[in-house]
């Protein structure tokens, strides 16, 4: 029961830091030749990785990300090569395994310098699949990734997964205030809030608009107009619930605040705003980065395919006839900067 409660808390508050113990942990019955999987010490991630690997015999090296998930921690400059180097050294990994290789989460590519790990520890680091669930198949295929293993899926399953966990803390704060001061409004707010969240997250692909904010505005307007029309038909007063209309706009805007960045591969609306305001950093929540389009200097490209291997949205196709990387869908880029970080020839840039 306690374990279930702990998981529920970690899930519903997943956008807040929640640390798991760091160190080297055996999964199954590993030996000196067993693979080493690295992950961040975000509690929910560690549990999901352990679940995915429960039938394997290997080592799990949990590095310190300050309790933040891999992607956010890497993008925010927290989960870096230094954290991986520290984890390898402190855990005594070199004394536990004969080989010199560690497998990193693919979504850490925006923050980790592989060469630095090799130079400091003697371990060659490589990026595994995006999802922990694909690790068994990846290992069984001798560390060869399929196209699906490279891609982050922003589809319906992802949005359902994010729906409650990314919005519950906001709901809880407002619900507590209403419960104390205006308890009569709590049932109505609960219905409005979760209806708004469900509409935005589940119908994201169908709602007009290029940004999460514009989609929230469109959705709120449709709901308010329909509500006002119903009030006019039933009660003869289209503004009967005008207070709730304002609440609907506020609720939809709150639910859609970072909808583009959370539930789709589009660029984050708040990051755009922060950049326009000249704000460089907000701790681990935001770090200024270039939000332009990806550019390739073909003269510098050596055809190593590092960008193709770690791009989570399929911007790159593969090598062309000239043995240089070619674009599959340049517009799919949402400026995660992983390819720029991993390009050994500095042939890629965001501009």
pLDDT, one tens digit per residue, over 50-103 is 999 999 999 999 999 999 999 989 988 999 999 999 999 999 999 999 999 999
Looking at per-residue pLDDT, the higher value among 275 and 197 belongs to 197
* H-assigned helices in the chain: 2-12, 43-52, 70-75, 81-91, 93-96, 114-121, 135-140, 147-150, 156-165, 168-181, 186-202, 212-235, 242-255, 259-263, 269-277, 306-310, 338-342
Rounded Cα gap, residues 201 and 216, in angstroms:
10
At residue 210, the 3 state secondary structure works out as coil
> Contact, 319 vs 301, CB < 8 A?
no
Residue 343 confidence (pLDDT) above 70: yes
Examine the pLDDT at 248 and tell me if it is beyond 80. Answer: yes
Q: In sequence order, which residues have a C-beta less than 8 Å from that of residue 30 and are 6 or more positions away?
A: 57, 58, 59
Q: CA 324 to CA 316: how far, in whole Å?
A: 11
Instruction: Render 84-121 in DSSP notation, one character per residue.
Output: HHHHHHHHTHHHH-SS-EEEE-GGGTTT--HHHHHHHH
Tokens at 301, concatenated:
């490209």
Q: How confident is the model at residue 32 (pLDDT cuts 50, 70, 90)?
A: very high
**pLDDT band, residue 269 (cuts 50/70/90):** confident
Digit-coded pLDDT (tens) for 108-142? 999 999 999 999 999 999 999 999 999 999 999 99
pLDDT, the chain, mean = 91
Q: How confident is the model at residue 244 (pLDDT cuts 50, 70, 90)?
A: very high
Q: What is the phi/psi pair of residue 266, to 5°? A: -80, 165
Assess whether pLDDT exceeds 70 at residue 1: no
pLDDT of residue 281: 54
Question: How far apart (Å, rounded) are the C-alpha atoms in residues 218 and 42?
Answer: 35
User: pLDDT tens across 173-208, in order?
Assistant: 999 999 999 999 999 999 999 999 999 999 999 999
Closest CA to 326 of 291, 300, 302, 296: 296
User: pLDDT grade, residue 263 (50/70/90)?
Assistant: confident
What pLDDT sits at residue 139? 97
């Amino acid at each position: 029961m306690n374990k279930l409660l702990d998981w529920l808390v970690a899930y519903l508050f997943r956008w807040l830091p929640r640390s798991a113990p760091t160190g080297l942990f055996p999964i199954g019955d590993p030996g000196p030749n067993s693979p080493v999987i690295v992950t961040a010490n975000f509690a929910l991630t560690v549990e999901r990785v352990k679940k995915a690997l429960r039938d394997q015999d290997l080592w799990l090296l949990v590095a310190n990300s300050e309790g933040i998930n891999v992607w956010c921690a890497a993008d925010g400059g927290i989960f870096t090569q230094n954290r991986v180097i520290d984890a390898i050294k402190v855990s005594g990994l070199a004394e536990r395994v004969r080989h010199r290789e560690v497998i990193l989460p693919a979504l850490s590519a925006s923050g980790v310098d592989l060469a630095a790990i090799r130079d400091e520890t003697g371990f060659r680091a490589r990026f595994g699949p995006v999802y922990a669930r694909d690790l068994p198949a990846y290992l069984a295929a001798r560390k060869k990734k399929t196209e699906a293993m490279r891609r982050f899926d922003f589809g319906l399953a992802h949005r359902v997964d994010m729906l409650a966990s990314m919005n519950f803390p906001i709901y809880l704060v407002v619900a507590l205030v209403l419960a104390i001061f205006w308890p009569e409004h709590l049932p109505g707010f609960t219905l409005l809030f979760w209806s708004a969240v469900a509409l935005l997250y589940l119908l994201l692909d169908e709602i007009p608009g290029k940004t999460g904010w514009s989609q929230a505005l469109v959705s709120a307007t449709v709901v308010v107009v329909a509500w006002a029309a119903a009030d006019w038909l039933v009660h003869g007063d289209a503004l009967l619930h005008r207070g709730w209309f304002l609440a609907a706009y506020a609720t939809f805007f709150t639910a859609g605040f970072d909808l583009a960045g959370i539930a789709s591969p589009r660029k984050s609306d708040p990051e755009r705003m922060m950049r326009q305001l000249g704000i460089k950093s907000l701790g681990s929540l935001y770090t200024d980065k270039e939000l332009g389009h990806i550019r390739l200097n073909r003269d510098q490209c050596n055809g190593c395919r590092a960008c193709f291997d770690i791009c989570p949205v399929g911007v790159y196709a593969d090598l062309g006839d000239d043995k240089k990387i070619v674009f599959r869908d340049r517009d799919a880029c949402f400026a995660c900067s992983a390819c720029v970080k991993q390009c050994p020839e500095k042939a890629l840039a965001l501009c």
